[in-house]
Amino acid sequence: MPTQLTIGQLAKDAGVHIETIRYYERRHILVPTSRLPSGYRLYNREAARRLHFIKNAQALGFTLHEIEELLNLRASSKARCGDVQRRAETKLKHVEAKARDLQSLAAALRRLIRLCRAGQPTEQCPLLTSLENEDKASGRCRQKGRVRAAIDQ
C-alpha cells in the first residue's frame, strides 16, 4: 500500500464509494492528510485504518453518531476500555430488542400465512383483510413504538 492514497484509491481499498468518503469528511469523521496543488485529496494509512474502523463498526450496527463517540473515546487519553464496553453493551441491548421484535413479526406472519387458502379469491384472503384491520385480524398491535404479537394462534 502506498503511503499516500487518493480518494479513489482509498475508496477502492475500503470497498466504499468516493461519495461515502466525502460524506464522512463533511461529518468530520475522516479527514484528508493533505491536498495536491490540483485539489486532489490525499490520505495516509491512518485514514485507511479509520475508514476500516468505521465500516466494521457499522457492520456491528453502530450508527455514525455512535461511531463518532467511539472514535473520540479512542483518541481521548482519559477514556478507558470500560467506556467502550458500556457503549457496546447498550448497542447489544438495542440489537437484542430488535431481534425480539423481528421474531414477533415473523410469528405474526406465520400465523397469517397459515390462515391463507390458496384457492380463495383475494376478496376473501385473510392476510389481505388483516392488513386492512390492523388491531383485530392481523394479530399485531403497536405499543410504545414496537410491534408485538397480539394473538397466540
The reported pLDDT for the residue numbered 1 is 60
Q: What CATH number is given to the structural domain containing 35?
A: 1.10.1660.10
The reported pLDDT for the residue numbered 81 is 92
Residues 57 and 85 in one domain: no
**Residue range of the domain that includes 129:** 81-149
Alpha-carbon distances, residue 94 vs 56, 72, 84, 103, 151 (angstroms): 18, 21, 16, 14, 25
Q: Does some domain include residue 22?
A: yes
Q: Does some domain include residue 66?
A: no
- Number of separate domains in the chain: 2
- Indicate if the alpha-carbon torsion angle 50, 52, 56, 58 is positive or negative: positive
Query: Tens-of-pLDDT digits for all 153 residues of the chain?
Result: 678 999 999 999 999 999 999 999 999 999 999 998 998 899 999 999 999 999 999 999 999 999 999 999 988 889 899 999 999 999 999 999 999 999 999 998 898 888 887 788 888 888 888 888 765 443 444 443 433 343 333
The reported pLDDT for the residue numbered 135 is 58
Biggest alpha carbon distance in the chain?
70
Residues 38 and 85 in one domain: no
Which pTM does this prediction carry? 0.72
